[in-house]
C-alpha cells in the first residue's frame, strides 16, 4: 500500500517494536500497558508537533553570544475522542504546557449501528488553532471521520488537523485519505487490517478498557 | 590512549610499630590534616587468619598468639593491596575481635587516592614493601606502649588486667623484639614519640602533599593530552537526534538567556525525553530477543522483547539529575545510581566525591547496559572519570551510553580517545560554549 504523504509513521526501531509487543500481549498487566502505551503516545506527540510551522528567531545566550534558531508559530489545542482518546491527553500536556483540550463523545447508535455525536466541548477559538485529534485506534475510522466533520463545522481547515493514533488499519487510513486528503495522520503502526467483526488484526484489544478498566 | 584516573597507583603509606606505640593516632592525624575525602586507613587486623575452633577457644582465653606473623594472612593482604594499587574496586575482609573470626561483611574500597596501611606487621613482608611509597616506623618506650595497651584492653575491650598482662608478657613483647623491631630498618622515616612529635609529622605531611600535587599535575596533563590528536568530525563520534524544527525550537528556548525557569525546566525535560529515547534505541539495536505474543483477540504477533531489567542509569550530580524524570518515564522499574565528581577550584582537577552505583552494577552482570547522564560536557574531564568508574566496576565499555544535552568538541574527542567503544548521545555539539548554566537554570540555585 502506497501511503499518502499526509500519513506519517514513527520510525520502526527495535525499541518501538518492543513497546508494541508489550501492549499487544494480552497477558500484560494494566500498569505495564499504561507505561508502555504512554511511551508510544509521547513519541507520537513529538512526531506530530514536528509538523507545526516555525519561524526564524534569534536569541542571546547566557554567555552573551547570538544564537539563531526558531520559534514555534501558531496556537494549538488537543481534541480527544472519549474515552480512549483521553489517555493521550497527558502525553500532549507533557509536550505542550497548559494546552487547551476539547472533548468529543461519539458512540454507536444502537438503532442504526452508525456512529452518533453525543457530546462535544471545544475551545471557542478552535478555528484559529492547529488541532491534535486524539484517538489511539483508527479501525474503521467511523468515529474519527465524524470527529473531523465536527471540527470542520467549527471552522477548522483540514490542513490544520493532525490525527494521532497508536494503531491504524489500511481500511481506516484509506477512508480518511479519500474523504479528508489534507488531514495529516500520525500513526505508530499500521496493522494488517480488520477481521469479519471489524476488530483490528492483530490489534491490541479494546484500548480504553485496557488503559482504564481491566 | 589509556586514561589513568587518580585512584590508579594510589599513594601508599605503611605505618608500623609496637602495639600501643600510637600508629593509629599518627594515621588519623595525617588523614585529618590532609582533609581530602579519598584517603583511607587500612588496618592489617583485617587480614587475620581464620581460626579453627580449638584456636578460637584459645583466643577467648587470651592464649592465642595474635602477635605472631603467622597469625596474619599475608597472601590475602597482598592480593587486596595489589587490587587497590591497580585502582580496582576492592573488597576488604572484616575481622571481628569479639567473635575471633572473619565476618560475612566486607568493606568496599574504591577511588582512594591515598591509602594508609597500619599494623604491627605493616613493614614485615617484602611484597608489601614493594607496593608502598612511604614507610614509617613509630617508636615508643615499652612501658608507654604497655600502659596504653592495658588501658585500651581493660577500658575498651572489657578484658581482665591479669590476662592482659599475661598476653603482653607472653606474646606482645617477645614478638615485637623478635619480629617487629627488626622491620624498623625498612622504614624511610622513624618517628619517635608518635603523635606528640609534631615536627616529624609536619615534615611527613609536607612530603605527602607534595607527592599528591605532583600526582594531580600528572593527572591533569594526561587529561589535557587526551583527544588532542583526533581530527575526526565529532559528529561521526556521537549520535545526534534527527534534526527537526521542534528540536531546533527547544534548543533556542534553552539557549535564550531570557527564558523563564518554568519554561527552561519544561523544555529541558522534553529534550531529556528525546535524548533518553534515542539512547534506548541505541541500547536495543543489539540486545533484543524475538518474542511472539497473543493479542486479546487471540491473534499472534511476532515482536521483540526489550530487556529493560538489564538497563540501569547513573546520573552525575547535579547536571545529570536533570534527566531523572525522563529516565523514570522511559524505563520501567529503573534502578538509578549517582556520581558526584567535582572540579577542584584550585587545581582544576576533577575529583570523585560520591559514588553510589545501583546494586545491579556491583553484582557484575556482564550484559548490563548503563545510561550515564550529564547536562553538559565542557573539558570532558569529569565525563572521562565517570566512564572510568563504571569500567572499574566491571561494566563493558560497549554497554555504556553517555547521554548529554550539550557538549564541546574537545570533550567528545577526549571521551572518544579514552573510551572508543562507548556510545555518546548528545543533543547539541558546538565549538564554542553558548551556555554553561543548564543545571543552574534547572534548579534555580
Residue A1 lies in a domain: no
Residue A68 lies in a domain: no
B280 Cβ under 8 Å from any chain A Cβ: yes
Phi, psi angle pair for B347, to nearest 5°: -100, -20
pLDDT given at position B233: 87
pLDDT band at A133 (very low <50, low <70, confident <90, very high): very high
User: If you measure CA to CA, which chain A residue comes closest to B251?
Assistant: A69
Which chain A residues are Cβ-neighbours of B441 within 8 angstroms? Answer: 62
CB neighbours of residue B182 within 10 Å = 12
**Cβ-based contacts of A21 with chain B (< 8 Å):** 291, 293, 301, 303-306
What CATH number should be reported for the domain holding residue A24? 3.40.50.2020
Residues 6+ apart with CB under 8 A from A113: none
Q: How many CA atoms lie within 13 A of B331 on its CB side?
A: 29
The answer to whether position A63 is within a domain reads no
Asked whether residue A59 is domain-assigned, the answer is no
Contacts of A97 in chain B (CB under 8 A): 263, 266
Q: What is the mean pLDDT of residues B53-76?
A: 89
- CB contact under 8 Å between B304 and A62, yes or no, is no
Question: Which CATH number does B234-443 carry?
Answer: 3.40.50.2020
pLDDT tens by residue, A141-170: 888 999 999 999 999 999 999 999 999 999
* Order of strands across the sheet that contains B423-430: B350-356, B336-343, B311-317, B369-377, B400-408, B423-430
Distance from CA of A92 to the nearest CA of B (A): 11
Q: Residue B293: its chain A contacts at CB < 8 A?
A: 21, 24-27
Residue A1: per-residue pLDDT = 58
- Give the number of domains in chain A: 1
Q: Give the number of A-B residue pairs with CB atoms closer than 8 Å.
A: 144
Q: Specify if A47 maps to a domain.
A: yes
pLDDT tens-digit series, residues A53-65: 999 999 999 889 9
Q: Where are the domains of chain B?
A: 11-222, 234-443
| Spatial CB neighbours of A123, under 8 Å, sequence gap ≥ 6 | A77, A100, A102, A129
Interchain contact, B296 vs A38, CB within 8 Å: no
The dihedral region occupied by B35, where left means phi > 0, alpha psi between -120 and 50, and beta the remainder, is left
CA distance A177 to chain B (A): 25
Is the interface score ipTM higher than 0.85? yes
Among B247, B218, B154, B164, CA closest to B4: B218
Judge if the upstream peptide bond of residue B284 is cis by omega within 30 degrees of 0: no
CA B437 – CA B445 distance, rounded (Å): 10
Q: How many CB atoms lie within 10 A of CB A189?
A: 18
Taking 80 as the threshold, does the pLDDT of residue A2 lie above it?
no
Residues in contact with A144: Cβ distance below 8 Å, sequence separation at least 6, in sequence order: A81, A133, A135, A138, A163, A165, A172, A176
Average pLDDT over residues A96-106: 93
Contact A164, A133 (CB under 8 A): yes
**With an 8 Å Cβ cutoff, are A14 and B281 in contact?**
yes
Q: Do B295 and A205 touch (CB under 8 A)?
A: yes
Give the sign of the dihedral formed by CA B149, CA B150, CA B154, CA B155: negative
The angle that helices B198-225 and B23-34 make with each other, rounded to 10 degrees, is 50
CA Rg value for chain B: 27
Do the Cβ atoms of B303 and A57 come within 8 Å? no
| In-domain check, residue A2 | no
Q: Would the CA dihedral through B144, B146, B147, B148 be positive or negative?
A: positive
Task: Judge whether A45 lies within some domain.
Answer: yes
Q: How far is CA B382 from CA A74, B264, B311, B389, in A?
A: 41, 24, 22, 11
Q: Among partner residues A24, A59, A199, which is closest to B303 by beta-carbon distance?
A: A24
User: Of A155, A142, A190, whose CA–CA distance to A169 is shortest?
Assistant: A190
To the nearest 10°, report the CA torsion of B59, B64, B66, B71.
Answer: -100
B254 interface with A at CB cutoff 8 Å:
no
The reply to whether B234-443 shares the fold of B11-222 is: yes
pLDDT of residue B70: 93
CATH architecture of B11-222: 3-Layer(aba) Sandwich (3.40)
Residue A28 counted as domain residue: yes
Amino acid at each position: 500500500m502506497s501511503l499518502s504523504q499526509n500519513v506519517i509513521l514513527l520510525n520502526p526501531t527495535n525499541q518501538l517494536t518492543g513497546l508494541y509487543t508489550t501492549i499487544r500481549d494480552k497477558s500484560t498487566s494494566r500498569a505495564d500497558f499504561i507505561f508502555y502505551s504512554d511511551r508510544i503516545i509521547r513519541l507520537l506527540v513529538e512526531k506530530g508537533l514536528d509538523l507545526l510551522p516555525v519561524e526564524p528567531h534569534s536569541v542571546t545566550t547566557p554567555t552573551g553570544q547570538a544564537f539563531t534558531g526558531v520559534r514555534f508559530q501558531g496556537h494549538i489545542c488537543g481534541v480527544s475522542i472519549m474515552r480512549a482518546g483521553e489517555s493521550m491527553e497527558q502525553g500532549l500536556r507533557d509536550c505542550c504546557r497548559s494546552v487547551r483540550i476539547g472533548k468529543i463523545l461519539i458512540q454507536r447508535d444502537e438503532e442504526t449501528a452508525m456512529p452518533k455525536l453525543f457530546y462535544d466541548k471545544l475551545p471557542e477559538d478552535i478555528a484559529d488553532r492547529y488541532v491534535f485529534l486524539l484517538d489511539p485506534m483508527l479501525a474503521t475510522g467511523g468515529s474519527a471521520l465524524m470527529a473531523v466533520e465536527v471540527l470542520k463545522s467549527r471552522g477548522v481547515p483540514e490542513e490544520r488537523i493532525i490525527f494521532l493514533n497508536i494503531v491504524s488499519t489500511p481500511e481506516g487510513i484509506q477512508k480518511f485519505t479519500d474523504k479528508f486528503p489534507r488531514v495529516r495522520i500520525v500513526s505508530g503502526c499500521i496493522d494488517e487490517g480488520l477481521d469479519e467483526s471489524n476488530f483490528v488484526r492483530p490489534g491490541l484489544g479494546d484500548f480504553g478498557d485496557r488503559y482504564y478498566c481491566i | 590512549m589509556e586514561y589513568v584516573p587518580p585512584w590508579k597507583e594510589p599513594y601508599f603509606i605503611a605505618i608500623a610499630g609496637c602495639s600501643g606505640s600510637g600508629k593509629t593516632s599518627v594515621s588519623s592525624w595525617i588523614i585529618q590534616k590532609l582533609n581530602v575525602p579519598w584517603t583511607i586507613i587500612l588496618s592489617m587486623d583485617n587480614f587475620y587468619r581464620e581460626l579453627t575452633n580449638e584456636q578460637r577457644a584459645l583466643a577467648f582465653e587470651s592464649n592465642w598468639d595474635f602477635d605472631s606473623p603467622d597469625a596474619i594472612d599475608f597472601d590475602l593482604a597482598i592480593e587486596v593491596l595489589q587490587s587497590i594499587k591497580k585502582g580496582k574496586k576492592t573488597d576488604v575482609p572484616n575481622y571481628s575481635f569479639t567473635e575471633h573470626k572473619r565476618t560475612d561483611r566486607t568493606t568496599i574500597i574504591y577511588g582512594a587516592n591515598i591509602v594508609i596501611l597500619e599494623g604491627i606487621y605493616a613493614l614485615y613482608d617484602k611484597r608489601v614493601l614493594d607496593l608502598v611509597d612511604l614507610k614509617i616506623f613509630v617508636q615508643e618506650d615499652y612501658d608507654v606502649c604497655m600502659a596504653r595497651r592495658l588501658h585500651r584492653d581493660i577500658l575498651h575491650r572489657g578484658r581482665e588486667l591479669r590476662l592482659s598482662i599475661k598476653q603482653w608478657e607472653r606474646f606482645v613483647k617477645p614478638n615485637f623484639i623478635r619480629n617487629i623491631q627488626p622491620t624498623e630498618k625498612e622504614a624511610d622515616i622513624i618517628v619517635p614519640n608518635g603523635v606528640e612529635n609534631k615536627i616529624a609529622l609536619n615534615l611527613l605531611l609536607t612530603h605527602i602533599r607534595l607527592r599528591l600535587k605532583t600526582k594531580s599535575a600528572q593527572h591533569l596533563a594526561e587529561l589535557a593530552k587526551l583527544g588532542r590528536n583526533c581530527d575526526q568530525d565529532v559528529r561521526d563520534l556521537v549520535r545526534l537526534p534527527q534534526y527537526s524544527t521542534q528540536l531546533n525550537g527547544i534548543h533556542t528556548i534553552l539557549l535564550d538567556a531570557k527564558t523563564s525557569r518554568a519554561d527552561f525546566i519544561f523544555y529541558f525535560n522534553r529534550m531529556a525525553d528525546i535524548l533518553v529515547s534515542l539512547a534506548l534505541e541505541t541500547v536495543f539495536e543489539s540486545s533484543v530477543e524475538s518474542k511472539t505474543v497473543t493479542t486479546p483477540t487471540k491473534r499472534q504477533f511476532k515482536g521483540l522483547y526489550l530487556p529493560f531489567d538489564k538497563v540501569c542509569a547513573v546520573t552525575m550530580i547535579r547536571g545529570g539529575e536533570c534527566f531523572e524524570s525522563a529516565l523514570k518515564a522511559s524505563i520501567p522499574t529503573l534502578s538509578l545510581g549517582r556520581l558526584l565528581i567535582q572540579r577542584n577550584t584550585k587545581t582544576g582537577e576533577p575529583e570523585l566525591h560520591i559514588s553510589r552505583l545501583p546494586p545491579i552494577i556491583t553484582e557484575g552482570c556482564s550484559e548490563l547496559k548503563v545510561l550515564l547522564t550529564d547536562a553538559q560536557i565542557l573539558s570532558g574531564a569529569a565525563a572521562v572519570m565517570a566512564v572510568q568508574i563504571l569500567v572499574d566496576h566491571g561494566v563493558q565499555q560497549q554497554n555504556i551510553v553517555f547521554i548529554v544535552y550539550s557538549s564541546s568538541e574537545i570533550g567528545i574527542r577526549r571521551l572518544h580517545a579514552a573510551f572508543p567503544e562507548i556510545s555518546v548521545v548528545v543533543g547539541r555539539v558546538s565549538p564554542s560554549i553558548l551556555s554553561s548554566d543548564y543545571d543552574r537554570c534547572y534548579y534555580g540555585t
